[in-house]
Amino acid sequence: MGSESPSLTMLLVSFAALILASAYFSSSETGMMSLNRYRLKHLKREKHAGAMRASRLLEKPDKLIGVILIGNNFVNFLAASIATSIAIAIVGDPAPIATAIILTLVVLIFAEVTPKTIAALYPEKVAYPSSILLILLLKILYPVVWMVNIVSNGLVRLLGFKPGEDDNQQQLSQEELRTVVYESSERIPRRRHGMLLNILDLEKATVSDIMVPRNEVLGIDIEDDMDEILDQIAGSQHTRMPVFRQDIDNVVGILHMRSVGKLVKVETVNRAMLVQETNDPYFIHESTPLHTQLFNFQKKKLRMALIVDEYGAVKGIVTLEDILEEIVGEFTTDLAANSKDIHAQNDGSYLIDGATSIREINRTLGWELDTAGAKTINGLLMEILQAIPDSSVGIELGGYYAEIVQIKDNVIRTVRMWPDANTLELIAD
């Protein structure tokens, strides 16, 4: 009896050790596979020892999984054998069903669920230390791992898969990258976070989304009286102005106000001298994406472009500053208070100029009006009504409400808008 007691103790200690070993392999597998690959690459560049070891193991996932599963299955099968011996030593009867139930519960709780849960919650704390032993085991068990991988990879190919050739899954798409940036909002300063999202959004917008429409373009008609032209130049708040003949479709060049300084010393300035100081106009199509145009501005060393449609008619202009504002936002702290086209009212609504772009409304007020179709709020309302409406017509726009306030020259000039039904009741009262 005295010899049986130490034997049982030895079996129990061995069984506990094997359960701990199984927990190690289970947690190592979950920890290694749960590592953030992009943080891992960053730490690897920072020469973090644990990250460098983990990266080396993850470069060959088939060998990593092979050594983990070989070790895990070995200790689990050995634990099952010892559990049977323990059952015989205690009750004298193998009792296979009872032994299997107890062993399953013990392995499930202590060797699978608990360690894997911890590893999933703290992958770096588990994976980096465990990588030391995994590298050692991989060297010791390499012949067995190699043989197992040869057989398993052969079966994978028979099933129609090609191991090691799907590296594209590690590359982030634009929408996935946007999600990563969005989820990192708590770790990135608000302004920088917004700039990153705006950069990703450049591919979704075209120059026609942010252009100054032709009816708002301030230019110089070279056919005007010369005194009027000089007065217009003197009072201009822009650094560049298009010069045209009678109509903006007949653009002759772009005049930089800096060039006008050369004419100060000239007693009599004529049209020919003014035209001579202009630069050749730069035309782009209305469908040009913003990110492409930003690159083109940089490549051509230009800051203004005239936007034309498929028939060659000028639709408006876009400047480098317009695109940069899409990234960094308006150069003001309170957009709604400083917008010349959007005016907040005491009742919670906004009076909005009909020519205001939907993108500007969304950016200024934080709304989510549809930008897929019309570019301005006037165009959006006309598109919905399919007619020139009367004033005081109310329209629901997917959770937002609009009331047409003023129509002039067959164009909606002013719109009152608000974001919810509660504000609607407040305005009605």
Per residue, what are the HEC states of 264-313? Answer: CCCCCCCHHHHHHCCECCCEEECCCEHHHHHHHHHHHCCCEEEEECCCCC
Residues comprising the chain, all counted: 429
For residues 64 and 70, give the distance between their C-alpha atoms in angstroms, rounded to a whole number: 10
12 and 146 belong to one structural domain: yes
For residues 79 and 415, give the distance between their C-alpha atoms in angstroms, rounded to a whole number: 76
The closest of 335, 388, 390, 381 to 358, measured between CA atoms, is 381
Is the pLDDT reported for residue 426 higher than 70?
A: no
**Residue 160 confidence (pLDDT):** 78
For residues 267 and 226, give the distance between their C-alpha atoms in angstroms, rounded to a whole number: 13
Is the pLDDT reported for residue 141 higher than 50?
A: yes
Do 2 and 87 contact (CB within 8 A), yes or no? no
Q: Range with the lowest mean pLDDT among 70-84, 191-205, 322-336?
A: 322-336
The sign of the torsion formed by the CA atoms of 362, 367, 372, 378 equals negative
The sign of the torsion formed by the CA atoms of 196, 197, 202, 203 equals positive
18 and 144 belong to one structural domain: yes
Average pLDDT of the residues in 335-349:
73
**Residue 395 confidence (pLDDT):** 86
Average pLDDT of the residues in 280-292:
93
Q: Range with the lowest mean pLDDT among 172-181, 274-283, 393-402?
A: 172-181
The C-alpha R_g of the chain, in whole angstroms, comes to 36
Average pLDDT of the residues in 61-72:
90
160 and 18 belong to one structural domain: yes
120 and 210 belong to one structural domain: no
Domain C-terminal end among 204, 219, 247: 204
**Residue 102 confidence (pLDDT):** 84
* pLDDT band, very low/low/confident/very high, at 427 (cuts 50, 70, 90): very low
**Residue 398 confidence (pLDDT):** 79
**Residue 125 confidence (pLDDT):** 93
Do 203 and 235 contact (CB within 8 A), yes or no? no
Average pLDDT of the residues in 302-312:
93
* pLDDT band, very low/low/confident/very high, at 163 (cuts 50, 70, 90): low
Range of the domain at 180: 172-204
Q: Which residue has the higher pLDDT, 426 or 374?
A: 374
216 and 293 belong to one structural domain: yes
Burial class (CB in 10 A: 0-12, 13-18, 19+), 211: buried
Phi-psi region of 382 (alpha: psi -120 to 50; beta: other; left: phi over 0): alpha
| Domain harbouring 249, CATH code | 3.10.580.10
**Residue 335 confidence (pLDDT):** 46
pLDDT mean across residues, the chain: 84
Average pLDDT of the residues in 79-87:
86
185 and 231 belong to one structural domain: no
Do 427 and 399 contact (CB within 8 A), yes or no? no
Q: Could you read off the pLDDT of 222-237 as tens digits, one per residue?
A: 998 888 888 888 888 8
Q: Could you read off the pLDDT of 362-415 as tens digits, one per residue?
A: 878 888 888 777 888 888 888 888 888 776 788 888 788 888 888 888 888 899
Average pLDDT of the residues in 187-191:
77
The closest of 302, 294, 309, 283 to 375, measured between CA atoms, is 309
Is the pLDDT reported for residue 422 higher than 60?
A: no
* pLDDT band, very low/low/confident/very high, at 344 (cuts 50, 70, 90): confident
Is the pLDDT reported for residue 281 higher than 60?
A: yes
Number of domains in the chain: 4
Question: Tokens 């009006």 sit at which residue?
Answer: 369
317 and 422 belong to one structural domain: no
Average pLDDT of the residues in 334-348:
70
Is the pLDDT reported for residue 266 higher than 60?
A: yes
Do 394 and 403 contact (CB within 8 A), yes or no? yes
> And the tokens for 239?
């650094």
Domain C-terminal end among 293, 328, 363: 328
**Residue 272 confidence (pLDDT):** 86
Is the pLDDT reported for residue 208 higher than 80?
A: yes
- Collapsing DSSP to helix, strand or coil, 44 comes out as helix
pTM value is 0.62
Is the pLDDT reported for residue 167 higher than 60?
A: no
Which ranges of 92-173 does DSSP label H, i.e. alpha helix?
A: 96-106, 114-121, 123-140, 142-158
157 and 15 belong to one structural domain: yes
**Residue 75 confidence (pLDDT):** 93
297 and 163 belong to one structural domain: no
**Residue 95 confidence (pLDDT):** 66
* pLDDT band, very low/low/confident/very high, at 293 (cuts 50, 70, 90): very high
156 and 23 belong to one structural domain: yes
158 and 190 belong to one structural domain: no
* pLDDT band, very low/low/confident/very high, at 294 (cuts 50, 70, 90): very high
| Domain harbouring 407, CATH code | 3.30.465.10
**Residue 2 confidence (pLDDT):** 45
Is the pLDDT reported for residue 174 higher than 60?
A: yes
Q: Which residue has the higher pLDDT, 332 or 43?
A: 43
- Collapsing DSSP to helix, strand or coil, 423 comes out as helix
**Residue 94 confidence (pLDDT):** 62
Pairing label, strands 240-245, 247-256 = antiparallel
* pLDDT band, very low/low/confident/very high, at 122 (cuts 50, 70, 90): very high
Is the pLDDT reported for residue 137 higher than 50?
A: yes
**Residue 182 confidence (pLDDT):** 76
Average pLDDT of the residues in 356-364:
83
* pLDDT band, very low/low/confident/very high, at 331 (cuts 50, 70, 90): low
59 and 136 belong to one structural domain: yes
